[in-house]
């Protein structure tokens, strides 16, 4: 399958995931959930040459704004686990800013739900 | 591996809408219309993520008769809706198979609730889906995806067949239609507010 952006997933299928991740393990679930929003850090002006091509392209993808971890996986066609490992390594290098989803307890459920309800009504009538 | 896919500005989460990401699950059996529903209301073209799962081997898959575990790839389709400057809502289409326990735990954690999409002609296929939702303690509403030409089923009969609580909302929708899908989602959120 080729995405509408012409990004072909074949390299992900040909290269075993543990090669892309250099054998690293999954990061802590709380650090990078599906809904963690990620962007390249503004100070990220000089990039070490030792970033892998996959890390480089994730960084490029994240440079123009925030995306969720799930969206990054969707756009790159990498398996979710691989994306989380690569992002964790970029975080360690100080290349990324993340905003974890707010834990439900920290913002009243009612407040969120009311805002979602109003938003849906405003959008769809 | 070449350059990264180039995205439009609107592919990114709107600046400001980065305070809280929340999710609602769209659940249902195979081919019930989950992706169609998500696609009809998502502001981005629906995306898919793949996760490798370990599951108990199906006997039929096991030619040597050796019991064990196999890995399988589960695809989850999802879309996005910017609700306000503080909230961005993700809709995750989640397959209703019980054997993907790990995926269900990930999906259910922190979800506001679930919209259960039901095909009135295949009601029995929805039983395990509803069992799973209840097992993970998610509040839900039922959206009956009304396919062309399918006879409308009486709501009472459907409630009985699915063994629903009296206050569980049941709406009919056309998953291809934006307004209709949004109305089903709105019904769910109103129900979640009642329960909050």
* CATH number for the domain harbouring residue B99: 3.40.50.300
Per the model's pLDDT, the better-predicted residue between B100 and B65 turns out to be B100
Among residues of chain B, what percentage have pLDDT more than 90?
Answer: 54
> Which two structure tokens, joined as six digits, stand for B174?
């056309």
Per-residue pLDDT reduced to its tens digit, B146-167: 866 556 668 888 999 999 999 9
Nearest to A37 among B3, B13, B78 (CB): B13
Name every chain A residue with its beta carbon within 8 A of the beta carbon of B15.
Answer: 65-66
Chain B residues 29-68 with CB within 8 Å of chain A: 41, 44-45, 47-52
> Quick one: how far is CA A76 from the chain centroid?
10
- pLDDT score at A55: 92
Average pLDDT estimate for B24-30: 92
pLDDT the model gives residue B131: 92
What is the four-CA torsion angle of B166, B167, B172, B177, rounded to 10 degrees? -170
Any A CB within 8 A of B12 CB:
yes
> Alpha helices, DSSP H only, in chain B?
34-41, 101-108, 127-135, 155-162, 178-195
Cross-chain Cβ contact B13/A65 below 8 Å: yes
CATH number, domain A10-124 = 1.10.10.10
Q: What angle do CA A45, A48, A51 make, to 5 degrees?
A: 115
Q: For position A2, what pLDDT does the model report?
A: 44
For residue B10, is it within any domain?
A: no
Domain for residue B191, yes or no? yes
Taking 50 as the pLDDT cut, the residues of chain A under it are 1-11
CA–CA min distance A110, chain B (Å): 6
pLDDT for residue B73 is more than 80: no
How far is residue B65's CA from residue B156's CA, in Å, rounded to a whole number?
46
d(CA B180, CA B7): 29
Is B81 a residue whose pLDDT tops 90?
yes
Please name which of A32, A116, A101, A39 lies closest in space to residue B13, comparing C-alpha atoms.
A39
Kindly report whether the global pTM for this prediction surpasses the value 0.90: no
Q: Which of A37, A70, A116 is nearest to B93 (CA)?
A: A70
Q: Is B110 an 8 Å CB contact of chain A?
A: yes
Would you say residue B67 has pLDDT above 60?
no
Contact status of A10 with chain B (Cβ, < 8 Å): no
Q: How far is CA B76 from the centre of its chain?
A: 9
The residue whose two tokens read 């629903």 is B164
Phi, psi torsion values for B141, nearest 5 degrees: -125, 155
- Per-residue model confidence (pLDDT) at position A10: 47
Q: What is the mean pLDDT of residues B40-47?
A: 95
Residue range of the domain that includes B145: 16-195
Residues of B in contact with A4 (CB under 8 A): 45
Burial category of A68 from C-beta neighbours within 10 Å (exposed 0-12, middle 13-18, buried 19 and up): buried
- Residue B154 pLDDT: 81
Mean of the pLDDT values across residues B186-191?
Answer: 97
Q: Which two tokens stand for residue B120?
A: 């009135």
Q: Where are the domains of chain A?
A: 10-124
Q: Tally C-beta pairs within 8 A across A and B.
A: 157
With CB atoms and an 8 Å threshold, state whether B9 touches A64: yes
- Domain count of chain B? 1
Burial pattern A82-100, b for ≥16 Cβ within 10 A else e, equals: bbbbbbbbbbebebbbbbe
Residue pointed to by tokens 């009472």? B156
Which of these, A125, A106, A58, lies nearest to A86 by C-alpha position? Answer: A58
Please list every residue in chain B whose beta carbon sits closer than 8 Å to the beta carbon of residue A65: 9, 12-13, 15
């Amino acid at each position: 399958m080729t995405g509408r952006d012409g990004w072909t997933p074949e390299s992900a299928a040909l290269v075993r995931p543990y090669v892309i991740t250099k054998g690293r393990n999954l990061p802590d679930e709380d650090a990078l959930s599906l809904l963690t929003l990620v962007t390249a850090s503004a100070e990220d002006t000089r990039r070490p040459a030792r970033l892998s091509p996959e890390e480089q392209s994730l960084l490029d993808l994240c440079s123009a704004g925030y995306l969720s971890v799930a969206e990054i996986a969707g756009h790159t066609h990498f398996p979710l686990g691989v994306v989380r490992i690569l992002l964790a390594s970029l975080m360690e290098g100080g290349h990324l800013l993340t905003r974890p989803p707010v834990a439900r307890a920290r913002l009243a459920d009612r407040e969120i739900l009311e805002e979602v309800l109003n938003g849906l009504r405003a959008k769809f009538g | 591996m070449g350059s990264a896919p180039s995205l439009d500005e609107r592919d990114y989460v709107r600046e400001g809408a980065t305070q809280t990401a929340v999710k609602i699950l769209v659940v249902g059996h195979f081919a019930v219309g989950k992706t169609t529903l998500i696609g009809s209301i998502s502001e981005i073209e629906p995306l898919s993520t793949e996760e490798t799962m370990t599951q108990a081997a199906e006997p039929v898959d096991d030619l040597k008769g050796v019991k064990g575990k196999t890995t399988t790839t589960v695809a989850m389709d999802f879309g996005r809706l910017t609700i306000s400057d503080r909230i961005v809502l993700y809709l995750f289409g989640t397959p209703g198979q019980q054997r993907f326990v790990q995926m269900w735990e990930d999906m259910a954690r922190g979800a506001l609730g679930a919209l259960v999409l039901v095909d009135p002609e295949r009601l029995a296929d929805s039983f395990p889906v509803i069992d799973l939702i209840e097992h993970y303690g998610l509040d839900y509403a039922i959206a009956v995806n009304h396919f062309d030409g399918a006879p409308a089923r009486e709501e009472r009969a459907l409630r009985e067949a699915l063994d629903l609580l009296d206050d569980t909302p049941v709406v009919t929708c056309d998953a291809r239609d934006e307004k209709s899908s949004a109305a089903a989602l709105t019904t769910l959120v109103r129900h979640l507010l009642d329960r909050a």
